[in-house]
Amino acid sequence: MSDLDLQCPEEPSATGAYQLSWDAPPGAGVVLSEEGDEIYRGDDASLALSGRREGVYAYELEVVGGQEETSSCAVEVAPPSLGTAALLFSTGALVFGATVALITVGHRKSQA
């Protein structure tokens, strides 16, 4: 069984933010790459990323100065459609406006 194991979230990320975690040999430093670019070097066991746009991101983990062994996985970023977002935003504005009106009218009537 391998000593190096990189784990990505199984479900697609709707926000573009997610956490990668890994198992590595005790005390070993690791290098994490995203699409071939190094994004982390150190001895933590996880990394939280954010601000990723829609797409699939491939990650690879290797031990600093170790064997050529690597572990890899991928994350899909799949935000909701802008149409769904606009619909829910409008719904939220409507509910908030109606709630303010409900309280304002009720308060005025109760003061009369």
Residues that bind another protein (CB under 8 A): 14-17, 19, 40, 42, 44-48, 50-53, 79-82, 84-86, 88-89, 91-96, 98-100, 102-103, 105-107, 109-110
Could you tell me the smallest distance in angstroms from the CB atom of residue 105 to another protein?
Answer: 8
Shortest distance (Å) from residue 3 CB to another protein: 19
Shortest Å, Cβ 47 to another protein? 6
Q: Which of 42, 45, 18 is nearest to 31 (CA)?
A: 42
CB atoms within 10 A of CB 59: 22
CA of residue 72 relative to chain centroid, distance = 17
Task: Enter the tokens of residue 86.
Answer: 């606009």
Q: How far is residue 111's CA from residue 109's CA, in Å, rounded to a whole number? A: 5
Question: In terms of CB distance, is 1 or 71 closer to another protein?
Answer: 71
**Smaller CB distance to another protein: residue 22 or 71?**
22
